[in-house]
């Protein structure tokens, strides 16, 4: 049982929230302070002149919000590089309630960029668990013009097996909350380049790719992405858009994730735990 503490919003929300929890253990009960992963809605708006249009609402852990917005729009094919973005900022419109001040992100696109947001208009609500519903099919990815991922790099099995421990060691928020997913970017030698955490695995991936976009690192043609949960169609879609050749997951892939990997020449690894992993696609990138 969790007893909520009433705390007014006086500043930007953090990624952790304190709560009082009643613990039942060994036939006894006690009260203690617990640390929870913060989960709040974030609305993404596209800005064109004086027109603001909501394209997504996601339940996320506050932090790296601009990366989340950029990564989401990149994964949906709305933007291709940081040059497509003129400005990203929190909404400061007078009518916005103070409680939501840091929960609305405006993305102003460069002049002349015509974005097709019709697929997003049909269903723009996303949850931390499953991402945007009603996603594109494999055929729609092909129509979007996603290219087959070029050859390389080649990883040794030892490098692959070393990745989960490196991801876990870098999860600072997970250590204090026990309730966050992570997405990490490595190079072919297994060096950790970046890591992002969130209550949603899709959000963590969007934050990671959004970071790469804003740093001008796309495409990630020599990168390896590891996600802490399972790999779904959406995870593969986002990585494909970013040019990621190797995607690894601690848990299982979905059938459509495997289809995407095989169709577009990606290496997909699942059940990466301990001293083993399953290779579902792209064996040419794993050394014998």
Cβ within 8 Å of residue 132, ≥6 positions away = 56, 120, 123, 124, 125, 126, 234
Structural domains of the chain, count: 1
pTM of the model: 0.88
Catalytic residues: 130
Residue 92 pLDDT exceeds 90: no
Helices (H), 101-179: 118-122, 138-144, 157-169, 172-177
Q: pLDDT of 174-202, one tens digit each?
A: 767 777 999 999 999 999 999 999 999 99
Please tell me the predicted confidence (pLDDT) of residue 8: 43
Percent of the chain surpassing pLDDT 70: 87
Domain that holds residue 228: 157-285
* Domain contains 65: no
- Establish if 260 belongs to a structural domain: yes
Chain mean pLDDT for the chain: 88
* Residue 247: inside a domain: yes
Which residues fall in the annotated binding site? 271-276
**149 secondary structure, DSSP code:** P
- Asked if the structure places residue 58 within a domain, the reply is no
Contacts of 114 (CB under 8 A, 6+ apart): none
The pLDDT assigned to 1 comes to 38
pLDDT exceeds 50 at position 246: yes
Q: How far apart are CA 214 and CA 248, in angstroms?
A: 23
Q: Would residue 145 be called left, alpha or beta, if left means φ above 0 and alpha means ψ between -120 and 50 degrees? A: left
Q: Is the pLDDT of residue 10 over 50?
A: no
The band of 153, judged by pLDDT with boundaries at 50, 70 and 90, is very high
Query: Does residue 43 form part of some domain?
Result: no
Asked, for residue 50, whether it belongs to a domain, the answer is no
Cα distance between residue 89 and residue 233, in whole Å:
29
Q: Report pLDDT for 133.
A: 41
* pLDDT per residue as tens digits for the range 210-241: 999 999 999 999 999 999 999 999 999 999 99
At 161, which CATH number?
3.40.140.10
Confidence of residue 143 (pLDDT cuts 50, 70, 90): low
Res 122: pLDDT = 52
Residue 51 maps to a domain: no
Report how far residue 66's alpha carbon sits from residue 214's, in angstroms, rounded to the nearest whole number: 9
Confidence of residue 149 (pLDDT cuts 50, 70, 90): very high
**Is 251 inside a domain boundary?**
yes
């Amino acid at each position: 049982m969790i007893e909520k503490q009433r705390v007014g919003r006086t500043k930007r929300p953090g990624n952790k929230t304190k709560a009082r929890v009643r613990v039942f253990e060994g036939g006894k009960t006690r009260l203690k302070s617990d640390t929870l992963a913060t989960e709040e809605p974030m609305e993404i708006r596209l800005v064109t002149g004086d027109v603001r249009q909501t394209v997504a609402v996601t339940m996320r852990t506050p932090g790296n919000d601009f990366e989340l917005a950029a990564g989401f729009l990149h994964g949906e094919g709305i933007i291709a590089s940081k040059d497509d973005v003129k400005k990203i900022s929190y909404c400061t419109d007078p009518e916005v309630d103070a409680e939501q001040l840091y929960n609305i992100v405006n993305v102003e696109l460069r002049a002349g960029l015509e974005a097709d947001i019709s697929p997003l208009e049909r269903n723009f609500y996303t949850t931390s668990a499953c991402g945007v519903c009603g996603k594109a099919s494999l055929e729609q990815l092909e129509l979007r013009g996603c290219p087959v991922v070029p050859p390389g790099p080649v990883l040794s099995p030892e490098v692959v097996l070393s990745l989960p421990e490196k991801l876990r060691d870098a999860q600072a928020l997970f250590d204090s909350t026990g309730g966050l997913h992570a997405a990490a970017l490595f190079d072919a030698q297994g060096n950790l380049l970046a890591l992002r955490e969130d209550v949603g695995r899709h959000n963590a991936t969007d934050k990671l790719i959004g970071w790469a976009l804003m740093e001008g690192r796309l495409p990630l043609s020599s990168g390896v992405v590891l996600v802490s949960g399972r790999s779904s169609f959406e995870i593969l879609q986002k990585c494909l858009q970013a040019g990621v050749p190797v995607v690894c997951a601690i848990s299982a892939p979905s059938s459509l994730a495997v289809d995407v990997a095989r169709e577009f020449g990606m290496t997909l690894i699942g059940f990466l735990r301990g001293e083993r992993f399953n290779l579902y696609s792209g064996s040419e990138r794993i050394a014998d």
